[in-house]
């Protein structure tokens, strides 16, 4: 069945691989597929890797993954633009009295995130904690977006206000926001108990 073969392809085995083909066998750098009229292979969305494949970001090209649609994934650029437009707040701004800057962090967050917070705060009495796990340096932007949302500055939720979600002092050492590795936070918390 090949399950044993799949088990040997773990992260440490894939980091040196140089990707050459998509999971369906289409060459990654296929110059005959460079025009935008030829659709790229469908995105693979299943949890288990296809046989003899691994995710692009688990190969030697991991450092290229932030520029994926500018490099090997250029054929996916139209799909990226379509998804970006679908999630954009541009359409909502024309009907809202709240106007937000073009590069505001709201534009980089899935609208359902704010809808979930709004629903939890206004339609239930359930207590909740928000844990933000990021892959880079965007935590400050995410905190700005949540804080502005909590002040009623989101065009879809202009009447929402929740002081407990405003995080203006994320640089403050007493802030409830911690940017770093959990081990560092745990060590600093443990030292405070001594």
Whether 90 is covered by a domain: the verdict is no
Whether 44 is covered by a domain: the verdict is yes
Q: Which of 33, 56, 84 is the C-terminal boundary of a domain?
A: 84
Distance CA 46, CA 43 (A): 9
Provide the domain count of the chain.
Answer: 2
* pLDDT the model gives residue 37: 61
Q: Are residues 76 and 139 in the same domain?
A: no
Angle at 105 between CA 103 and CA 109, to 5 degrees: 125
1 has pLDDT over 50: no
Q: Are residues 79 and 111 in the same domain?
A: no
* pLDDT the model gives residue 30: 58
* pLDDT, tens only, 17-66: 788 888 888 887 655 555 556 677 888 888 888 888 888 878 888 888 88
Averaged confidence pLDDT in the chain: 75
Which is more confident, 135 or 145? 145
Q: Which of 84, 107, 127 is the C-terminal boundary of a domain?
A: 84
Question: What range defines the domain where residue 111 resides?
Answer: 98-193
Which is more confident, 166 or 39? 166
Q: What is the DSSP letter of 135?
A: S
Buried b (16+ CB within 10 A) or exposed e, 63-74: ebbeebeeebbb
Whether 69 is covered by a domain: the verdict is yes
151 has pLDDT over 80: yes
- CA-nearest of 70, 69, 156, 144 to 103 is 144
Global pTM exceeds 0.85: no
Distance CA 147, CA 169 (A): 11
- HSE of 49, CA atoms in CB hemisphere, 13 A: 19
Angle at 13 between CA 9 and CA 19, to 5 degrees: 90
């Amino acid at each position: 069945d090949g399950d044993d073969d799949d088990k040997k392809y773990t992260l440490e085995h894939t980091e040196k691989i140089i990707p050459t083909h998509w999971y369906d066998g289409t060459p990654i750098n296929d110059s005959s597929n460079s025009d935008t009229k030829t659709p790229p292979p469908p995105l693979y969305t299943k949890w288990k890797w296809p046989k003899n494949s691994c995710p692009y970001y688990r190969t030697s090209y991991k450092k290229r993954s932030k520029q994926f649609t500018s490099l090997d994934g250029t054929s996916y650029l139209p799909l990226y633009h379509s998804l970006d437009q679908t999630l954009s707040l541009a359409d909502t701004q024309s009907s809202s009295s709240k106007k937000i800057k073009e590069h505001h962090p709201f534009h980089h967050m899935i609208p359902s995130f704010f809808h979930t917070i709004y629903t939890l705060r206004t339609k239930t009495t359930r207590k909740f904690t928000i844990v933000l796990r990021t892959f880079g340096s965007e935590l400050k932007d995410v905190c700005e977006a949540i804080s502005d949302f909590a002040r009623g500055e989101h065009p879809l939720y202009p009447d929402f206000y929740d002081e407990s979600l405003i995080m203006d002092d994320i640089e403050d050492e007493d802030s409830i926001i911690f940017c770093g590795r959990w081990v560092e936070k745990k060590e600093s918390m443990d030292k405070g108990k001594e």
